[in-house]
Amino acid sequence: MTSKPLTLIVFIMCFVLPVMAEQPVYLDLNKPIEDRVEDALSRMTLEEKVAMIHAQSKFSSPGVPRLGIPENWATDGPHGIRQEVAWDEWYGAGWTNDSCMAFPALTCLAATWNPEMSALYGKSIGEEARYRNKNILLGPGVNIYRTPLNGRNFEYMGEDPFLASKMVVPYIREVQKNGVAACVKHFALNNQEKYRDHVNVVVDDRALNEIYLPAFKAAVQEGGAWAIMGAYNKYKGEHCCHNKYLLNDILKRDWGFDGVVISDWGGTHDTNEAIYNGLDMEFGTWTDGLKEGLSDAYSQYYLATPYLDKLKSGEVGMSELDDKVRRILRLVFRTNMSKDRHFGSFVSDEHALACRQIAEEGIVLLKNDNHILPIDGGKVKKLLVVGENGVHSMTIGGGSSSLKVKYEVSPLQGIINRAKQSGIEVMFEMGYASPAVAAQDMKGAVAPEKKFDLDELRDKAVKAAAGADMVLFIGGLNKNAGQDCEGNDREGLGLPYGQDKLISELAAANPNVAVVILSGNAVGMPWIDDVSAIIEAWYNGSEAGNALASVLFGDVSPSGKLPFTFPKRLDDVPAHKLGEYPGDGSDVVYKESIFVGYRWVDKEGIEPLFPFGHGLSYTTFEYGKLVADKDEMSVSDEITFKISVKNVGDRVGKEVVQLYISDKKSSLPRPVKELKGFQKITLMPGEEKQVTFTVGKNELSFYDDNKEAWIAEPGVFEALVGSSSAEIKGRVVFSVK
C-alpha cells in the first residue's frame, strides 16, 4: 500500500503538472500581459488576425473563437450605456433588460470642477458598462469648445485644456478599474459638426499643442487610456482616423500610447492609409459614404478583404497587421481576459446617488438678484413652472449619446416632490413646445406628431404668471437636430421655439422670475436684466429633477462653475468674429490660434455675458490675501501660493478657488492669463480654509512652434487667484530667473 503523501505526489506529477504545463501562456491570467500577447499572436492565422481588426456588427468585433479569445463589445458612452441595438442596425434590439442609468452630460461634470466627481462618474459608468458585458466604453470626449454652435459640446468638457485634462483623468482611471477600456474621443480637432466628415482643420502648431491636444495627452499619459477614437474630420489633408501625424507621430511615438486606435463609425476611407497611418480597428463603415450603404458589409471594410488581399499578394507586409493585433490583444487581456475584472452593477441606488451628487455639484447659479433663490416657502405659496423643458426627456435624442433609461426624473417632477415639503402649490404651463424626437427603440419608430400653437401656449403661461408668487421658467435647448445634437450645429446663439419672447412677457407679468436653462451650450439672453435669477442646469440624466430641486429649494448650495464662456453675441467668439466658422466646406482655419474662449475675451477686452469659471453660491466667501513663499524662482524650481477662504454666510457651501498665471513678457504672444490650478473646498458657516497651489515649469511653459518644444522663459509673471476668470481676488508678482 502506498502512503498518502506519495499518492499526492504521484497525482500531481501525473495529472496536475502536465495540465499546468500545457496551459498556453496567453490563457494564464497571472502571466505578464506582453507575454500573453506574443503567445496569442503566434497562434493566430492570417485570417483570424484580419478578422480581429474590423467590426462584425454595429458595435462588436470578433475574437478568436478557436483560441477562446472573446469578442470585443463597444458601447456609447459617454453618459450611459446605450441600449442593445440590432446586429447591423442603429435601432434597438427590443431587449427589456438594457434600460440604463443616465449620468449628467460631460459639460455638467466639467462644471463641478471637482476631480472627485469625475472619479465617481467613471467608477459608476464603468460598473454599468461591465455589468452589460461591454469592454470598450466610447467616451469620454474632450474636444475643446471653440464655438457655442457646435452640436456636440454637451459631450465634452469645456473650453479650457487644463480643466479638461484634470477632469478627464479620474474618469478614465475609474472606468478602467472595471476591466472596461475608456475610448477617448474624438482625436482630434473635431470642434464642429457641420462638414464633420470632410472638413480639413488648419491650425497652427501652438494652438494644436496648447489648446487642442493637452486633454488627450493627459488622457493617455496620466489616465492611461486603453483606447482612443479617431475623429471624422481631416487634419493636414488626411482623415483623422488614419492620420500619420496625429496617430503615428504624436499619439503612438511621442506619447507612447500602447492602446487601440478605433475609427469613428464610418470614419475610415482608405485601405492603405488605414494600414500605415495608425488605425487599429475599423468600425461602422458604410460602403457608400457615412450614412448609407450595403447592409452586413463588414467583409468589405477597408481593413477586411481589401487588406487581406493585399497581405496575401505580398503587396503589404505583416508588421503593421501584427502591431494592430497586438494592441487589440492587449486590450482584451486588460479587459475581458483580466483576472482583476469585477462583475459590475446596473442602475443601482449607488449610481442614482452618484448621478444626483454630480448633477448637484455641476448646476451653476449664474445670477441671483435679491436672493430670490433658494425658493422661500415663507414667501412663495403659489409657484408657476413654465416651459417644455420642465417635462421634456433629455436622455433621448442628441445622436449617439441617446439613451434608453430606466427612469428620468423631470425638472417638474423633482420640483413637485420637493415643493410639497415646503407646502408650496405648483402649477405648470408648457409656454412653448418643440417637435418631438423619435427614440431609437424600434425599427421604424416614428415620432408622434405634436401640434402646437406657440401664441396660445405663451398667452396661457403669461396669464397664469400674473397670479403666481413666483415663476420658474425651465427652457433652453434640447436634443433635437439643430440644437444640442450630433450631426448638425446650432444655427444661432438664441433660444429656439419663441422662448425669448415668452420669458420677456413672463417677466413683464411677474416681478419674480427665475430662469433655468437646460443646455450643453451657451445661449443668448436678451432678457437677462428682466429676470431675477438664472441657473444653468445642463442635461443631468436620470436624477435631473431631484438635483435641480435640491438646488432650487436650498437643500444644496450651488457650487458649479462655467467650463466655458457665455458670450453676449456670436461676434464675441473669435471663430465667428474672424469669419472662420464653419469654413468654406473644404477647410476651416483656426485663425484665432490659441485665443479660444476666455483667452480671446481677455485679449480683446470683451465683457462676456458670463465669464469662464463663473458661478454663484447661496453663501458668501471672503478671500484673504494671496501670498507666495518667494518672489523669485529658477525655472527648475517651484513656487507656492497660499490664500485663505472663509465662509462668512450662514449656510454650508463649496467654492472653487481658481489660479491663473500671467506671463508679463514673452518672446511669443501669450494669453493675458491661463488657468493653472483649481481646488474645490467645502466650508461650514464661519469656517476658513487655506488653499495652496504649487507652480513649476509646466505651469509657466508655452509651446514654441519654432523650437517644437515647451519652454519656460525667464521673466516676470503674475499669479492671480479668483472665484472666476473675471473675479480676481488676489495677485502676486514673481520673477523667474
Active-site annotation holder among 76, 98, 264, 484: 264
Q: How far is the CB of 477 from ligand BGC (least distance, A)?
A: 19
Single residue of 64, 138, 246, 639 touching ligand BGC by CB under 6 A: 138
DSSP letters, 665-731, are S-SS---S-EEEEEEEEEE-TT-EEEEEEEE-HHHH-EEETTTTEEE---EEEEEEEESSSS-EEEE
Cβ partners under 8 Å of residue 12, min gap 6: none
Could you say which residues in the range 178-207 bind ligand BGC, by CB under 6 A?
185
Position 140 contacts ligand BGC (CB under 6 A): no
Q: Return the sign of the alpha-carbon dihedral for residues 167, 122, 56, 95.
A: negative
Torsion over CA of 127, 129, 131 and 134, rounded to 10 degrees?
-140
Q: How far is the CB of 82 from ligand BGC (least distance, A)?
A: 7
Q: How far is the CB of 230 from ligand BGC (least distance, A)?
A: 10
Nearest-5° Cα angle at 265, 261 to 268: 65
Contact 642, 627 (CB under 8 A): yes
Q: In angstroms, what CA-CA distances link 425 with 322, 416, 419? A: 67, 8, 7
Q: How far is the CB of 105 from ligand BGC (least distance, A)?
A: 14
DSSP letters, 55-73, are -SSSSEE--BGGGTBPPEE
Phi, psi of 214 (to 5 degrees): -55, -40
Q: Return the sign of the alpha-carbon dihedral for residues 86, 92, 98, 104.
A: positive
Torsion over CA of 92, 94, 100 and 106, rounded to 10 degrees?
10
Q: Which residues pair with 33 in a beta bridge?
A: none
Q: How far apart are CA 539 and CA 518, in angstroms?
A: 6
Q: Which is nearer to ligand BGC, 185 or 252 (CB)?
A: 185
Q: Which is nearer to ligand BGC, 141 or 475 (CB)?
A: 141
Q: Which residues pair with 476 in a beta bridge?
A: 518
Site string for ligand BGC, 384-423 (x = CB under 6 A): ----------------x-----------------------
Q: Which is nearer to ligand BGC, 123 or 186 (CB)?
A: 186
Report the SS3 class of residue 560.
coil
Report the SS3 class of residue 147.
coil
Q: Which is nearer to ligand BGC, 76 or 592 (CB)?
A: 76
- Per-residue 3-state assignment (H helix, E strand, C coil) for 435-487: CCCCCCCCCCCCCCCCCCCHHHHHHHHHHHHHCCCEEEEEEECCCCCCCCCCC
Q: How far is the CB of 427 from ligand BGC (least distance, A)?
A: 40
Could you say which residues in the range 262-301 bind ligand BGC, by CB under 6 A?
264-265
Active site annotation includes 264 = yes
Q: How far is the CB of 414 from ligand BGC (least distance, A)?
A: 29
**Which residue has the CB atom at the shortest distance from ligand BGC?**
400
Site string for ligand BGC, 93-132 (x = CB under 6 A): ----------------------------------------
Q: Which is nearer to ligand BGC, 220 or 509 (CB)?
A: 220
Strands 364-368 and 533-536: antiparallel
Q: Which is nearer to ligand BGC, 76 or 388 (CB)?
A: 76
Cell of 470: 413666483
Q: Which is nearer to ligand BGC, 83 or 400 (CB)?
A: 400
Total residues interacting with ligand BGC, rule: CB under 6 A: 7
CA nearest to 386, candidates 452, 432, 435 = 432
Strands 587-589 and 632-633: unpaired
Could you say which residues in the range 36-95 bind ligand BGC, by CB under 6 A?
76-77
Single-letter residue type at 273: E
Q: How far apart are CA 38 and CA 204, in angstroms?
A: 40
Q: Which is nearer to ligand BGC, 288 or 571 (CB)?
A: 288
Q: How far is the CB of 488 from ligand BGC (least distance, A)?
A: 12
DSSP letters, 248-264, are IIIIIIIS---SEEE--
Q: Which is nearer to ligand BGC, 401 or 647 (CB)?
A: 401
Q: How far is the CB of 73 from ligand BGC (least distance, A)?
A: 13
Could you say which residues in the range 225-264 bind ligand BGC, by CB under 6 A?
264
Q: How far is the CB of 730 from ligand BGC (least distance, A)?
A: 41
Residues labelled catalytic: 264
| Contact set with ligand BGC (CB under 6 A) | 76-77, 138, 185, 264-265, 400
